[in-house]
Structure 1
Amino acid sequence: MLTIYGVYRSRAIRPLWVLEECKAPFSHIPVIQAYRLTDATAASAALNTAMPDYLAINPLGQVPAMRDGALLLTESLAICLHIARKYGGTLGPASDDEASLMEQWALFAATAVEPAAIEILYTTRDGQADSPTGQGIIRLAAEKLKRPLSRLEQHLAHHDWLMNRFTVADIMVAECLRYGQSYAPLLTDFPKTARWLSAAQSRPAFNTVWSRRAAEPE
Protein backbone atom coordinates (compact mmCIF):
# COMPACT_ATOMS: atom_id res chain seq x y z
CA MET A 1 0.00 0.00 0.00
CA LEU A 2 1.13 3.53 -0.72
CA THR A 3 2.50 5.31 2.36
CA ILE A 4 2.79 9.07 2.91
CA TYR A 5 5.19 10.41 5.54
CA GLY A 6 4.52 13.89 6.88
CA VAL A 7 2.00 15.98 8.80
CA TYR A 8 -0.77 18.04 7.24
CA ARG A 9 1.03 21.22 8.37
CA SER A 10 3.68 20.66 5.75
CA ARG A 11 4.01 20.14 2.01
CA ALA A 12 2.57 16.68 2.68
CA ILE A 13 -0.85 18.32 2.44
CA ARG A 14 -0.37 18.43 -1.34
CA PRO A 15 -0.30 14.68 -1.98
CA LEU A 16 -2.78 14.15 0.86
CA TRP A 17 -5.20 16.44 -1.02
CA VAL A 18 -4.66 14.42 -4.20
CA LEU A 19 -5.32 11.20 -2.31
CA GLU A 20 -8.48 12.62 -0.76
CA GLU A 21 -9.73 13.64 -4.22
CA CYS A 22 -9.16 10.22 -5.78
CA LYS A 23 -10.05 8.15 -2.67
CA ALA A 24 -7.07 5.87 -3.19
CA PRO A 25 -6.17 3.68 -0.19
CA PHE A 26 -2.99 4.67 1.63
CA SER A 27 -1.31 4.65 5.00
CA HIS A 28 -0.25 7.87 6.68
CA ILE A 29 2.73 8.22 9.01
CA PRO A 30 2.63 11.73 10.57
CA VAL A 31 6.30 12.69 10.66
CA ILE A 32 6.65 16.23 12.07
CA GLN A 33 9.40 18.70 11.12
CA ALA A 34 12.22 18.59 13.68
CA TYR A 35 12.50 22.39 13.81
CA ARG A 36 9.01 22.57 15.28
CA LEU A 37 10.03 20.61 18.38
CA THR A 38 11.84 21.93 21.44
CA ASP A 39 14.11 18.87 21.49
CA ALA A 40 13.77 16.60 18.49
CA THR A 41 16.22 14.12 20.02
CA ALA A 42 14.40 13.66 23.33
CA ALA A 43 13.21 10.16 24.15
CA SER A 44 9.64 11.47 24.32
CA ALA A 45 9.85 13.42 21.04
CA ALA A 46 7.26 12.75 18.37
CA LEU A 47 8.34 10.97 15.22
CA ASN A 48 10.25 13.68 13.37
CA THR A 49 12.50 14.44 10.44
CA ALA A 50 15.73 14.35 12.49
CA MET A 51 15.31 10.75 13.61
CA PRO A 52 17.68 8.18 12.04
CA ASP A 53 14.81 5.98 10.89
CA TYR A 54 13.34 8.86 8.92
CA LEU A 55 16.70 10.10 7.63
CA ALA A 56 17.13 6.64 6.13
CA ILE A 57 14.01 7.41 4.08
CA ASN A 58 14.90 11.02 3.22
CA PRO A 59 18.47 12.06 4.06
CA LEU A 60 17.45 15.71 3.52
CA GLY A 61 15.28 15.46 6.63
CA GLN A 62 12.23 16.92 4.91
CA VAL A 63 8.62 15.90 4.41
CA PRO A 64 6.76 14.58 2.59
CA ALA A 65 8.12 11.28 1.44
CA MET A 66 6.21 8.48 -0.26
CA ARG A 67 6.70 4.76 -0.65
CA ASP A 68 4.68 2.91 -3.25
CA GLY A 69 6.00 -0.61 -3.54
CA ALA A 70 9.68 -0.30 -4.41
CA LEU A 71 9.31 3.35 -5.42
CA LEU A 72 10.48 6.03 -2.99
CA LEU A 73 9.83 9.71 -3.77
CA THR A 74 10.80 12.69 -1.62
CA GLU A 75 9.55 15.71 -3.61
CA SER A 76 5.95 16.77 -2.97
CA LEU A 77 5.04 17.67 -6.55
CA ALA A 78 6.62 14.51 -7.96
CA ILE A 79 4.56 12.57 -5.43
CA CYS A 80 1.40 14.40 -6.53
CA LEU A 81 2.08 13.63 -10.19
CA HIS A 82 2.76 9.97 -9.44
CA ILE A 83 -0.45 9.54 -7.42
CA ALA A 84 -2.56 11.31 -10.03
CA ARG A 85 -1.06 9.32 -12.89
CA LYS A 86 -1.36 5.92 -11.17
CA TYR A 87 -4.48 6.29 -9.02
CA GLY A 88 -6.16 9.57 -9.86
CA GLY A 89 -8.37 8.82 -12.84
CA THR A 90 -9.35 12.15 -14.35
CA LEU A 91 -7.01 13.96 -11.93
CA GLY A 92 -4.15 12.52 -13.93
CA PRO A 93 -3.18 12.78 -17.60
CA ALA A 94 -5.26 11.21 -20.34
CA SER A 95 -2.41 11.43 -22.88
CA ASP A 96 1.30 12.03 -23.15
CA ASP A 97 0.62 15.66 -24.06
CA GLU A 98 -1.48 16.13 -20.93
CA ALA A 99 1.27 14.56 -18.84
CA SER A 100 3.72 17.09 -20.25
CA LEU A 101 1.36 19.97 -19.51
CA MET A 102 0.91 18.79 -15.92
CA GLU A 103 4.68 18.56 -15.51
CA GLN A 104 4.98 22.08 -16.87
CA TRP A 105 2.43 23.38 -14.34
CA ALA A 106 4.34 21.59 -11.57
CA LEU A 107 7.56 23.33 -12.57
CA PHE A 108 5.72 26.65 -12.88
CA ALA A 109 4.36 26.20 -9.35
CA ALA A 110 7.75 25.29 -7.91
CA THR A 111 9.86 27.92 -9.66
CA ALA A 112 7.62 30.88 -10.54
CA VAL A 113 5.12 30.85 -7.65
CA GLU A 114 6.36 29.14 -4.52
CA PRO A 115 9.64 31.02 -3.80
CA ALA A 116 8.01 34.46 -3.55
CA ALA A 117 4.77 33.18 -2.04
CA ILE A 118 6.63 31.44 0.76
CA GLU A 119 8.43 34.70 1.61
CA ILE A 120 4.99 36.11 2.39
CA LEU A 121 4.11 33.05 4.47
CA TYR A 122 7.31 33.11 6.52
CA THR A 123 7.17 36.85 7.13
CA THR A 124 3.57 36.60 8.31
CA ARG A 125 4.17 33.45 10.35
CA ASP A 126 7.09 35.08 12.16
CA GLY A 127 4.93 38.04 13.21
CA GLN A 128 6.75 40.53 11.01
CA ALA A 129 3.93 41.41 8.61
CA ASP A 130 3.19 44.73 10.34
CA SER A 131 6.78 45.84 10.77
CA PRO A 132 8.40 48.16 8.19
CA THR A 133 10.91 45.46 7.29
CA GLY A 134 8.24 42.81 6.99
CA GLN A 135 6.01 45.03 4.90
CA GLY A 136 8.92 45.66 2.56
CA ILE A 137 9.60 41.93 2.18
CA ILE A 138 5.94 41.22 1.48
CA ARG A 139 5.59 44.01 -1.08
CA LEU A 140 8.71 42.83 -2.89
CA ALA A 141 7.46 39.24 -2.90
CA ALA A 142 4.09 40.37 -4.27
CA GLU A 143 5.91 42.28 -7.01
CA LYS A 144 7.81 39.11 -7.92
CA LEU A 145 4.50 37.28 -8.23
CA LYS A 146 2.97 39.74 -10.70
CA ARG A 147 4.36 38.04 -13.79
CA PRO A 148 3.31 34.47 -12.86
CA LEU A 149 -0.07 35.77 -11.69
CA SER A 150 -0.51 37.58 -15.00
CA ARG A 151 0.28 34.28 -16.72
CA LEU A 152 -2.42 32.55 -14.68
CA GLU A 153 -4.90 35.35 -15.23
CA GLN A 154 -4.44 35.21 -18.99
CA HIS A 155 -4.86 31.43 -19.04
CA LEU A 156 -7.91 31.46 -16.76
CA ALA A 157 -9.64 34.03 -18.94
CA HIS A 158 -10.43 31.09 -21.23
CA HIS A 159 -10.45 28.12 -18.84
CA ASP A 160 -12.23 27.24 -15.61
CA TRP A 161 -9.27 25.08 -14.60
CA LEU A 162 -5.66 24.81 -15.70
CA MET A 163 -6.53 21.84 -17.91
CA ASN A 164 -9.93 21.13 -19.46
CA ARG A 165 -11.09 19.79 -16.07
CA PHE A 166 -9.94 19.90 -12.44
CA THR A 167 -6.67 17.97 -12.20
CA VAL A 168 -3.55 17.57 -10.13
CA ALA A 169 -2.21 20.66 -11.92
CA ASP A 170 -4.74 22.80 -10.07
CA ILE A 171 -3.80 21.24 -6.74
CA MET A 172 -0.09 21.84 -7.22
CA VAL A 173 -0.37 25.47 -8.32
CA ALA A 174 -3.10 26.32 -5.80
CA GLU A 175 -1.08 24.91 -2.92
CA CYS A 176 2.02 26.90 -3.86
CA LEU A 177 0.00 30.09 -4.32
CA ARG A 178 -1.75 29.54 -0.96
CA TYR A 179 1.46 30.54 0.80
CA GLY A 180 0.95 34.13 -0.34
CA GLN A 181 -2.79 34.20 0.21
CA SER A 182 -2.59 35.88 3.61
CA TYR A 183 -1.56 39.09 1.86
CA ALA A 184 -5.00 40.37 0.89
CA PRO A 185 -3.90 42.74 -1.91
CA LEU A 186 -2.03 39.95 -3.73
CA LEU A 187 -4.95 38.91 -5.95
CA THR A 188 -6.75 42.25 -6.19
CA ASP A 189 -5.67 42.77 -9.80
CA PHE A 190 -6.19 39.11 -10.70
CA PRO A 191 -9.91 38.35 -10.25
CA LYS A 192 -9.96 35.27 -12.47
CA THR A 193 -7.09 33.77 -10.51
CA ALA A 194 -8.85 34.62 -7.25
CA ARG A 195 -12.03 32.91 -8.53
CA TRP A 196 -10.07 29.83 -9.58
CA LEU A 197 -8.25 29.60 -6.24
CA SER A 198 -11.52 29.97 -4.32
CA ALA A 199 -13.13 27.24 -6.43
CA ALA A 200 -10.22 24.88 -5.78
CA GLN A 201 -10.34 25.57 -2.05
CA SER A 202 -14.11 25.06 -1.98
CA ARG A 203 -13.81 21.44 -3.03
CA PRO A 204 -14.87 18.91 -0.38
CA ALA A 205 -11.51 17.13 -0.52
CA PHE A 206 -9.64 20.35 0.25
CA ASN A 207 -11.99 21.14 3.13
CA THR A 208 -11.35 17.67 4.55
CA VAL A 209 -7.57 17.94 4.49
CA TRP A 210 -7.72 21.53 5.76
CA SER A 211 -9.80 20.41 8.73
CA ARG A 212 -7.22 17.72 9.47
CA ARG A 213 -4.49 20.34 9.23
CA ALA A 214 -6.33 22.58 11.68
CA ALA A 215 -6.58 19.67 14.13
CA GLU A 216 -2.79 19.32 14.28
CA PRO A 217 -0.72 21.34 16.77
CA GLU A 218 0.73 24.55 15.35
Structure 2
Amino acid sequence: MTTTIYGVSGSRAIRSLWAIEEVGLEYTHVATHFFNDSKTDDYLSVNPNGRIPALVDGEVTLFESMAINLYLTKKYAPALYPMSEGEQAKAIQWSVWAISEIEPQQMQIVIQKFFNRDNIDQSTIDSATENLQRPLAVLNKHLAGQEYLLGDSFTVADLNVSGVMLLMQMIEFDLSAYPNIKNWTERCYSRDALKRAQSLG
Protein backbone atom coordinates (compact mmCIF):
# COMPACT_ATOMS: atom_id res chain seq x y z
CA MET A 1 0.00 0.00 0.00
CA THR A 2 1.30 3.44 -0.95
CA THR A 3 0.90 6.47 1.30
CA THR A 4 1.26 9.93 -0.21
CA ILE A 5 1.03 13.28 1.51
CA TYR A 6 0.68 16.59 -0.32
CA GLY A 7 1.79 19.99 0.94
CA VAL A 8 4.81 22.06 1.88
CA SER A 9 6.32 22.62 5.29
CA GLY A 10 5.99 26.40 5.07
CA SER A 11 2.22 26.18 5.30
CA ARG A 12 -0.51 24.70 7.46
CA ALA A 13 0.43 21.35 5.90
CA ILE A 14 3.29 21.25 8.41
CA ARG A 15 0.77 19.84 10.88
CA SER A 16 0.25 16.67 8.86
CA LEU A 17 3.88 16.41 7.77
CA TRP A 18 4.69 16.45 11.49
CA ALA A 19 2.07 13.78 12.18
CA ILE A 20 3.29 11.40 9.51
CA GLU A 21 6.84 11.78 10.80
CA GLU A 22 5.61 11.06 14.33
CA VAL A 23 3.93 7.80 13.33
CA GLY A 24 7.04 6.58 11.51
CA LEU A 25 5.20 5.56 8.37
CA GLU A 26 7.05 5.21 5.07
CA TYR A 27 5.48 7.68 2.67
CA THR A 28 5.88 9.72 -0.49
CA HIS A 29 5.92 13.48 -0.09
CA VAL A 30 4.61 15.53 -3.00
CA ALA A 31 5.66 19.14 -2.40
CA THR A 32 2.44 20.94 -3.30
CA HIS A 33 2.37 24.70 -2.87
CA PHE A 34 -0.82 26.41 -1.73
CA PHE A 35 -0.89 28.74 -4.75
CA ASN A 36 -0.66 27.25 -8.26
CA ASP A 37 0.17 23.63 -7.40
CA SER A 38 -3.03 23.10 -5.45
CA LYS A 39 -5.22 24.30 -8.33
CA THR A 40 -4.15 21.77 -10.97
CA ASP A 41 -6.63 19.18 -12.24
CA ASP A 42 -4.47 16.36 -10.88
CA TYR A 43 -4.43 17.80 -7.38
CA LEU A 44 -8.10 18.78 -7.43
CA SER A 45 -8.90 15.11 -8.03
CA VAL A 46 -7.32 14.48 -4.61
CA ASN A 47 -8.66 17.53 -2.80
CA PRO A 48 -11.42 19.34 -4.70
CA ASN A 49 -11.12 22.26 -2.27
CA GLY A 50 -7.77 23.16 -3.80
CA ARG A 51 -6.08 23.45 -0.42
CA ILE A 52 -3.28 21.64 1.37
CA PRO A 53 -2.60 19.22 2.96
CA ALA A 54 -4.12 16.07 1.55
CA LEU A 55 -3.40 12.41 2.21
CA VAL A 56 -3.83 9.30 0.11
CA ASP A 57 -3.34 6.11 2.11
CA GLY A 58 -4.25 3.14 -0.02
CA GLU A 59 -7.95 3.50 -0.72
CA VAL A 60 -8.41 6.30 1.83
CA THR A 61 -8.22 9.91 0.64
CA LEU A 62 -8.45 12.72 3.18
CA PHE A 63 -8.16 16.47 3.39
CA GLU A 64 -8.12 18.77 6.46
CA SER A 65 -5.06 18.49 8.68
CA MET A 66 -6.95 17.66 11.87
CA ALA A 67 -8.76 14.74 10.22
CA ILE A 68 -5.53 13.49 8.63
CA ASN A 69 -3.69 13.58 11.95
CA LEU A 70 -6.44 11.82 13.88
CA TYR A 71 -6.57 9.12 11.20
CA LEU A 72 -2.80 8.61 11.03
CA THR A 73 -2.30 8.35 14.77
CA LYS A 74 -5.30 6.09 15.34
CA LYS A 75 -4.24 3.70 12.58
CA TYR A 76 -0.47 3.73 12.85
CA ALA A 77 0.58 5.12 16.25
CA PRO A 78 -1.71 3.95 19.06
CA ALA A 79 0.67 5.43 21.63
CA LEU A 80 -0.30 8.87 20.31
CA TYR A 81 -4.03 8.13 20.14
CA PRO A 82 -5.97 7.94 23.42
CA MET A 83 -7.37 4.56 24.40
CA SER A 84 -10.63 5.46 26.15
CA GLU A 85 -13.63 6.90 24.36
CA GLY A 86 -13.64 9.85 26.73
CA GLU A 87 -10.02 10.71 26.03
CA GLN A 88 -10.56 10.24 22.29
CA ALA A 89 -13.43 12.71 22.49
CA LYS A 90 -11.17 15.17 24.32
CA ALA A 91 -8.54 14.86 21.59
CA ILE A 92 -11.19 15.73 19.02
CA GLN A 93 -12.51 18.51 21.27
CA TRP A 94 -9.12 20.21 21.55
CA SER A 95 -8.45 19.79 17.83
CA VAL A 96 -11.74 21.48 16.93
CA TRP A 97 -11.12 24.12 19.59
CA ALA A 98 -7.77 25.03 18.03
CA ILE A 99 -9.15 25.59 14.55
CA SER A 100 -12.21 27.47 15.79
CA GLU A 101 -10.80 29.55 18.66
CA ILE A 102 -7.13 30.08 17.77
CA GLU A 103 -6.65 29.75 14.03
CA PRO A 104 -9.10 32.40 12.75
CA GLN A 105 -7.59 35.09 14.97
CA GLN A 106 -3.95 34.28 14.31
CA MET A 107 -4.66 34.11 10.58
CA GLN A 108 -5.93 37.69 10.71
CA ILE A 109 -2.53 38.70 12.04
CA VAL A 110 -0.69 36.58 9.44
CA ILE A 111 -2.64 38.21 6.61
CA GLN A 112 -1.82 41.70 7.82
CA LYS A 113 1.86 41.05 8.53
CA PHE A 114 2.73 38.96 5.49
CA PHE A 115 0.16 39.62 2.78
CA ASN A 116 -0.80 43.26 3.43
CA ARG A 117 2.66 44.58 4.20
CA ASP A 118 2.15 47.73 2.16
CA ASN A 119 -1.18 48.52 3.78
CA ILE A 120 -1.22 46.94 7.23
CA ASP A 121 -4.40 47.49 9.21
CA GLN A 122 -3.13 47.72 12.77
CA SER A 123 -6.66 47.75 14.14
CA THR A 124 -7.20 44.26 12.72
CA ILE A 125 -4.03 43.03 14.42
CA ASP A 126 -5.04 44.66 17.70
CA SER A 127 -8.53 43.18 17.55
CA ALA A 128 -7.26 39.68 16.77
CA THR A 129 -4.67 39.93 19.54
CA GLU A 130 -7.37 40.91 22.01
CA ASN A 131 -9.66 38.13 20.82
CA LEU A 132 -6.90 35.57 21.44
CA GLN A 133 -6.60 36.42 25.13
CA ARG A 134 -9.66 34.44 26.24
CA PRO A 135 -8.84 31.13 24.50
CA LEU A 136 -5.19 31.44 25.51
CA ALA A 137 -6.26 31.92 29.12
CA VAL A 138 -8.41 28.79 28.85
CA LEU A 139 -5.49 26.77 27.49
CA ASN A 140 -3.02 28.16 30.01
CA LYS A 141 -5.32 27.26 32.90
CA HIS A 142 -5.91 23.76 31.52
CA LEU A 143 -2.17 23.10 31.31
CA ALA A 144 -1.53 24.08 34.92
CA GLY A 145 0.04 21.15 36.74
CA GLN A 146 0.29 18.86 33.73
CA GLU A 147 2.80 18.34 30.96
CA TYR A 148 0.38 17.81 28.08
CA LEU A 149 -3.26 18.35 27.19
CA LEU A 150 -4.45 14.90 28.23
CA GLY A 151 -2.00 14.33 31.07
CA ASP A 152 1.62 13.25 31.22
CA SER A 153 2.09 11.99 27.66
CA PHE A 154 2.27 13.70 24.26
CA THR A 155 -0.73 12.73 22.13
CA VAL A 156 -2.42 13.74 18.90
CA ALA A 157 -4.25 16.40 20.90
CA ASP A 158 -0.95 18.15 21.59
CA LEU A 159 0.22 17.62 18.02
CA ASN A 160 -2.92 19.19 16.59
CA VAL A 161 -3.21 22.15 18.94
CA SER A 162 0.47 23.04 19.01
CA GLY A 163 0.57 22.43 15.25
CA VAL A 164 -2.09 25.08 14.76
CA MET A 165 -0.19 27.39 17.09
CA LEU A 166 3.05 27.11 15.11
CA LEU A 167 1.84 30.24 13.32
CA MET A 168 2.34 32.14 16.57
CA GLN A 169 6.07 31.75 16.11
CA MET A 170 5.75 33.19 12.62
CA ILE A 171 3.88 36.26 13.84
CA GLU A 172 6.11 36.55 16.94
CA PHE A 173 3.14 36.47 19.28
CA ASP A 174 4.10 37.22 22.87
CA LEU A 175 3.17 34.29 25.12
CA SER A 176 4.99 35.57 28.20
CA ALA A 177 1.67 36.10 30.00
CA TYR A 178 0.92 32.41 29.51
CA PRO A 179 3.84 30.49 31.04
CA ASN A 180 2.12 27.10 30.94
CA ILE A 181 1.51 27.46 27.20
CA LYS A 182 5.05 28.67 26.63
CA ASN A 183 6.55 25.67 28.44
CA TRP A 184 4.17 23.26 26.73
CA THR A 185 4.93 24.55 23.23
CA GLU A 186 8.64 24.31 23.95
CA ARG A 187 8.19 20.64 24.84
CA CYS A 188 6.10 19.97 21.74
CA TYR A 189 8.37 21.87 19.36
CA SER A 190 11.50 20.10 20.59
CA ARG A 191 10.33 16.80 19.12
CA ASP A 192 12.53 15.28 16.43
CA ALA A 193 9.56 14.47 14.20
CA LEU A 194 8.70 18.15 13.90
CA LYS A 195 12.29 19.02 13.05
CA ARG A 196 12.26 16.41 10.28
CA ALA A 197 8.96 17.74 8.96
CA GLN A 198 10.24 21.31 8.94
CA SER A 199 13.22 20.25 6.83
CA LEU A 200 10.94 19.07 4.03
CA GLY A 201 10.15 21.27 1.06
State the aligned residue count.
199
Is contact 2:106–2:168 with CA below 8 Å preserved after alignment? yes
- Work out whether 1:8 is the aligned partner of 2:14: no
State the Cα distance separating 1:96 from its structure 2 match.
Answer: 1.5
Shift in alpha-carbon separation, 1:2–1:95, aligned structure 2, 3 A: farther
- Work out whether 1:117 is the aligned partner of 2:106: yes
State the Cα distance separating 1:97 from its structure 2 match.
Answer: 1.5
State the Cα distance separating 1:5 from its structure 2 match.
Answer: 1.3
Is contact 1:3–1:28 with CA below 8 Å preserved after alignment? yes
User: In structure 2, how many angstroms separate the alpha carbons of the residues matched to 1:32 and 1:139?
Assistant: 30
In structure 1, what residue type is equivalent to 2:179? P
- Work out whether 1:162 is the aligned partner of 2:149: yes
Which stretch of the first structure deviates more once superposed, 178-187 or 106-115? Answer: 178-187
User: In structure 1, how many angstroms separate the alpha carbons of the residues matched to 2:25 and 2:112?
Assistant: 36
Structure 1 residue runs of 4 or more that deviate by more than 6 Å after TM superposition:
none
Percent identity between the aligned chains? 35
In structure 2, what residue type is equivalent to 1:193? I
Which of residues 125, 143, 165 is equivalent to 2:130? 143
Q: How does 1:10-29 map to 2 (within 5 A)?
A: 10-29=11-30
Paired position in structure 1 for 2:139: 152
In structure 2, what residue type is equivalent to 1:115? P
Is contact 1:153–1:193 with CA below 8 Å preserved after alignment? yes
TM-score scaled by length of structure 1: 0.84
User: In structure 2, how many angstroms separate the alpha carbons of the residues matched to 1:116 and 1:143?
Assistant: 9
Deviations 1:104-155 (A, max 9, x none): 01100110110001112222223639x7x44322221111111110111111
User: In structure 2, how many angstroms separate the alpha carbons of the residues matched to 1:51 and 1:169?
Assistant: 32
State the Cα distance separating 1:61 from its structure 2 match.
Answer: 0.7
The residue matched to 2:169 in structure 1 has which SS? Answer: coil
Instruction: Name which one, 1 or 2, has greater alpha-carbon Rg.
Output: 1
Is contact 2:18–2:193 with CA below 8 Å preserved after alignment? yes
CA RMSD, 1 decimal: 1.8
State the Cα distance separating 1:187 from its structure 2 match.
Answer: 1.1
Q: For CA contacts below 8 A with separation 6 or more, give which structure has more relative contact order.
A: 2
In structure 1, what residue type is equivalent to 2:143? L
Gap runs ≥5 in structure 1: 35-39, 41-47
User: In structure 2, how many angstroms separate the alpha carbons of the residues matched to 1:32 and 1:162?
Assistant: 31
Paired position in structure 1 for 2:183: 195
User: In structure 2, how many angstroms separate the alpha carbons of the residues matched to 1:167 and 1:159?
Assistant: 13
Gap runs ≥5 in structure 2: none
